[in-house]
Amino acid sequence: MKLFALAFGAHPDDIEMSCGGTLSMLHRNGKPFGMVDFTRGEMGTRGNAAIRAREAKEAARILGAEVRVNLGISDSHIELNRANLIKVVEVIRKYQPEIVFAPYREERHPDHVHAHQLVSDAVFYSGLRKLKVGKFQAYRPKHAYYYMQHRTFEPSFYIDISHDYDTKVASIQAHKSQFFNPSSKDPQTMLSTPEFMEYLLGRMRYHGRVAGVRYAEPFWTPEPVAIMNFDSIV
């Protein structure tokens, strides 16, 4: 199955919070995409691996993902090693995305930093013909775009998600164990406070304001971005 885009996240719900609106927009425009979680999020304070797997599946359905893959790497143990790099190379070669989304290079959680580095490296190595990995042929995505999580950065560009705001919010709320739920008996975390969801929504509004739209998601890329036509900005 060839996909237009492949989004990587260190933990279930990372993708939804950071670029869920962009993925919803792709689906709405007939661009197939997939989601790849490095871990099952089993080290999180709330929920467990089984609960989070069910929630991830529902969130993927809401966004319209063609596939959601879990690499099965231990949570809080995403190491920069050859075995993990090869796992990422394999999934890139299997789905042959034009675009890859991944965490930004500087982050509060070490898992996010390591996920960034593994994806960035794998985008290059997956194109090496002499690197033999399983049954899939060499393939290199055309673009790698990095999304914002806890740490901020100066965006290279924004994606207008004004028409996909509600879908993004619904995909985040599918992760019921992680976010505000007054009936939950689990310990409170930064994510489970009502203020955290307000922060996420406010950030979408802020970036939308900067970009001149209602809601937006920011991205960074080390390469210049070419505008092919002016249809989307006039």
String of DSSP letters for 170-194? HHHHT-TTTS--TT--SPP-TTTSH
pLDDT higher than threshold 90 for residue 48: no
* CATH 3.40.50.10320 for domain 5-220: yes
Q: How sure is the predictor about 231, in pLDDT bands with cuts at 50, 70 and 90? A: low
pLDDT higher than 60, residue 29: yes
Mean pLDDT of 2-29: 96
Q: What local confidence, expressed as pLDDT, does residue 129 receive?
A: 94
* Per-residue pLDDT at 64: 98
- Taking the C-alpha atoms of residue 115 and residue 142, their distance in angstroms, rounded to an integer, is 19
Task: Report whether pLDDT(100) > 90.
Answer: yes
Reply yes or no on whether the pLDDT at 75 is more than 90: no
Whole-number pLDDT of residue 186: 72
Longest dimension (CA), the chain: 55
Q: What is the pLDDT of residue 190?
A: 65
As a whole number of angstroms, the distance between CA 186 and CA 124 comes to 41
Query: 105 falls in which pLDDT band (50, 70, 90)?
Result: very high
At 163, the pLDDT band (50, 70, 90 cuts) reads very high
- 93 CB-contact burial (10 Å; exposed 0-12 / middle 13-18 / buried 19+): buried
**pLDDT over 90 at 40, yes or no:** no
For residue 192, is pLDDT > 70?
A: no
Average pLDDT for 50-56: 91
Q: Where are the domains of the chain?
A: 5-220
Identify the H or E element spanning 204.
helix 194-211
Which residues contact residue 202 at a Cβ distance below 8 angstroms, ignoring those fewer than 6 apart?
A: none
Average pLDDT, the chain: 91
Query: d(Cα 44, Cα 102) in Å, to the nearest integer?
Result: 20
Note the pLDDT of residue 232: 60
Look-up of token digits 């002016």 = 230
pLDDT category at 196 given cuts 50, 70, 90 is confident
Distance of alpha carbon 3 from alpha carbon 95, whole angstroms: 6
CA angle 191, 193, 199 (to 5 degrees): 70
The side-by-side arrangement of strands in the sheet containing 99-103 is: 67-70, 33-37, 5-9, 99-103, 143-147, 216-220, 157-160
pLDDT exceeds 60 at position 233: no
